[in-house]
Amino acid sequence: MNKQVILTQQVAEKQNVLTLIADLKSLVKFPVLIANVLPVFTGFWLALYFSNASFQDYFSLFLLTITGSTLVIAGALVINNWYDVDIDSVMARTMKRPTVTGTISLKMVLMLGIILTSVGFILLLFTTIEATIYAFIGWFTYVVLYTMWSKRKYTLNTVIGSVSGAVTPFIGWTAVASGNHMVPILLFSILFIWQMPHTFAIAMRKYEEYKAAGVAMLPVVRGFTMTKRQIIVYVACLLPLPFYFIEFSLTFVIIATILTLAWLGLSIYGLFTKDDQKYAYISFLYSVNYITILFLLLVIVTLPVFR
User: Which residues lie closer than 8 Å to 79 by C-beta, 6 or more apart?
Assistant: 110, 113, 114, 117, 143, 147
Which carries the bigger pLDDT value, residue 9 or residue 144? 144
Residue 305 has pLDDT above 60, yes or no: no
Predicted pLDDT at 4: 61
User: Which residues lie closer than 8 Å to 9 by C-beta, 6 or more apart?
Assistant: none
**DSSP secondary structure letter of residue 242:** G
Average pLDDT over residues 231-250: 96
What domains can you pick out in the chain, each with its CATH number? 28-306 (1.10.600)
DSSP, collapsed to helix, strand or coil, labels residue 301 as coil
Which carries the bigger pLDDT value, residue 12 or residue 179? 179
Buried b (16+ CB within 10 A) or exposed e, 263-282: bbebbeebeeeeebeebbeb
Predicted pLDDT at 9: 61
For residue 89, report the phi and psi dihedrals to the nearest 5 degrees. Answer: -75, -15
DSSP, collapsed to helix, strand or coil, labels residue 66 as helix
Predicted pLDDT at 242: 96
User: Which residues lie closer than 8 Å to 197 by C-beta, 6 or more apart?
Assistant: 230, 231, 234, 235, 263, 267, 283, 287
Predicted pLDDT at 304: 77
| pLDDT tens-place string over residues 202-240 | 999 999 999 999 999 999 999 999 999 999 999 999 999
Task: Say if CB 71 and CB 123 are below 8 A apart.
Answer: yes
For residue 276, report the phi and psi dihedrals to the nearest 5 degrees. Answer: -65, -40
Average pLDDT over residues 154-161: 95
Average pLDDT over residues 240-244: 96
What percentage of the chain exceeds 70 in pLDDT?
94
What percentage of the chain exceeds 90 in pLDDT?
86
Task: Say if CB 193 and CB 230 are below 8 A apart.
Answer: no
Task: Say if CB 104 and CB 97 are below 8 A apart.
Answer: no
Going by pLDDT thresholds of 50, 70 and 90, the confidence category of residue 261 is very high
**DSSP secondary structure letter of residue 215:** -
Average pLDDT over residues 118-141: 98
Task: Label residue 125 exposed, middle or buried (CB < 10 Å: 0-12, 13-18, 19+).
Answer: middle
Predicted pLDDT at 94: 86
Task: Label residue 120 exposed, middle or buried (CB < 10 Å: 0-12, 13-18, 19+).
Answer: buried
CA 163 to chain centre: 11
- In whole angstroms, give the CA distance from residue 166 to residue 40: 10
Going by pLDDT thresholds of 50, 70 and 90, the confidence category of residue 100 is very high
Which carries the bigger pLDDT value, residue 254 or residue 5? 254
